């Protein structure tokens, strides 16, 4: 039977169960600053040159992590790193095309060699191609699979070994709320995002024993250039804005900063008992 903990835990770490037994698990209650601290940790982020990837990288650096910022556009990656370093924080940049398996593995391996560890992987880079079945080519479907599923698989596979050696870590896979609902006329995007959520949950089940947490980040509409495919599918920017005002209960776009808050949650000690979760941040769209 599952224990119910008394709301008044002994501050020394004694927890009282609903049956009256004491469980001494040496738990020290932490304050919020300690729980969000990423001091001494190394984070590797793909697709971090703009939008959500950039916001998450900045947020983790501000929480104390050394962040390795990567992007297919090396100039964007360097600009984000310069911005973070200008704040007196720790960051490095690297040009990386996650569609190149060897380059992706090499980048993660180099991070471990250079910094001695890897605590957080945020595999964020992805691709959005609009259209229903009859309009999406097999080449576009393959491209969607390569970035939205395969690249996450390759990155996670490279990160698991060092995380096992050091006793754990957090792997965050960017999926989408399109991975838990079905968008109209977005077959390549929705299919691959559902696959990313399923794969994340499978990996979570397989590696929980190693204290490696896998969670899927599932944003809704955030006002970034990544919405281009949805704008086409909805007939332009005005059509997308109309959809948001009429179909999202909070009637607005999310912000990259709001998604970054969720990234810090999944990366930090605030979520030490969270794995296999699809964390939806979408203003209520999928309700």
In tens, the pLDDT along 163-195 reads 999 999 999 999 999 999 988 889 999 999 999
C-alpha closest to that of 208 among 159, 263, 275, 287: 275
Residues 1 and 63 in one domain: no
Mean pLDDT on 239-267: 95
Is there a single domain that holds both residue 8 and residue 77?
no
Domain that holds residue 15: 1-30
Is there a single domain that holds both residue 255 and residue 233? yes
Whether 270 has a pLDDT exceeding 90, the answer reads yes
Taking the CA atoms of residue 231, residue 236, residue 237 and residue 239 in that order, the dihedral angle to the nearest 10 degrees is -90
Higher pLDDT, 1 or 84: 84
The pLDDT assigned to 21 comes to 38
Mean local confidence (pLDDT), 247-269: 97
On whether both 11 and 143 belong to a single domain, the answer is no
169, 53: one domain: yes
Tally of CB atoms within 10 A around 31: 8
Which among 5, 115, 182, 189 is annotated as catalytic?
A: 189
Mean pLDDT of 225-249: 86
- As a whole number, mean pLDDT of residues 200-206 equals 98
Q: What is the pLDDT of residue 1?
A: 31
Gap between the Cα atoms of 258 and 245, Å rounded: 19
| Residue 32 or 123, more confident | 123
207 classed as catalytic? no
Least confident of 100-109, 119-128, 138-147, 178-187: 178-187
**pLDDT at res. 11:** 38
- 156 within a domain of the structure (yes/no): yes
pTM as predicted: 0.88
Q: Are residues 175 and 276 in the same domain?
A: yes
Do 24 and 130 share a domain, yes or no?
no
Is the domain of 23 the same as that of 66? no
The reply to whether 128 and 11 lie within a common domain is no
User: Which CATH number covers residue 123?
Assistant: 3.40.50.720
Q: Say if residue 84 is in the same domain as residue 6.
A: no
Q: Is 238 a residue whose pLDDT tops 50?
A: yes
How many domains does one find in the chain?
2
211, 220, 198, 221: which is closest to 152 by C-alpha? 198
Query: For residue 230, what pLDDT is reported?
Result: 76
Confidence grade of residue 28 (pLDDT, cut at 50, 70, 90): low
More confident residue, 30 or 158: 158
Is 228 contained in some domain? yes
Which is more confidently placed, 74 or 18?
74
């Amino acid at each position: 039977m599952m224990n119910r903990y008394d709301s008044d835990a002994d501050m020394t770490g004694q927890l009282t169960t609903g049956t009256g037994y004491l469980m001494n698990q040496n738990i020290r209650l932490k304050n919020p600053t300690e729980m969000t601290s990423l001091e001494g940790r190394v984070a590797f982020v793909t697709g971090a040159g703009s939008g959500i990837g950039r916001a998450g990288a900045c947020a983790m650096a501000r929480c104390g992590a050394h962040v390795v910022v990567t992007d297919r556009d090396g100039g964007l990656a360097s600009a984000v790193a310069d911005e973070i370093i200008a704040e007196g924080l720790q960051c490095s940049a690297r040009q990386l095309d996650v569609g190149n398996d060897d380059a992706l593995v090499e980048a993660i391996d180099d991070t471990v060699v250079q910094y001695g560890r890897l605590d957080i992987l945020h595999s964020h880079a992805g691709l959005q191609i609009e259209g229903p079945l009859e309009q999406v080519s097999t080449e576009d479907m393959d491209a969607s699979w390569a970035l939205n599923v395969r690249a996450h698989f390759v990155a996670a596979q490279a990160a698991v070994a060092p995380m096992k050696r050091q006793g754990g870590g957090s792997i965050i896979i960017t999926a989408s709320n399109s991975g838990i609902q079905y968008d109209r006329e977005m077959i390549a995007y929705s299919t691959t995002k559902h696959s990313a959520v399923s794969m994340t949950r499978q990996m979570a089940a397989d590696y929980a024993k190693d204290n490696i947490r896998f969670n899927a980040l599932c944003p809704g509409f955030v006002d970034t250039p990544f919405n281009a495919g949805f704008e086409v599918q909805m007939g332009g920017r005005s059509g997308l804005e109309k959809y948001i005002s009429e179909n999202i209960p909070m009637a607005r776009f999310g912000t990259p900063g709001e998604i970054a808050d969720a990234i810090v949650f999944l990366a930090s000690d605030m979520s030490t008992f969270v794995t296999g979760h699809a964390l939806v941040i979408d203003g209520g769209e999928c309700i």
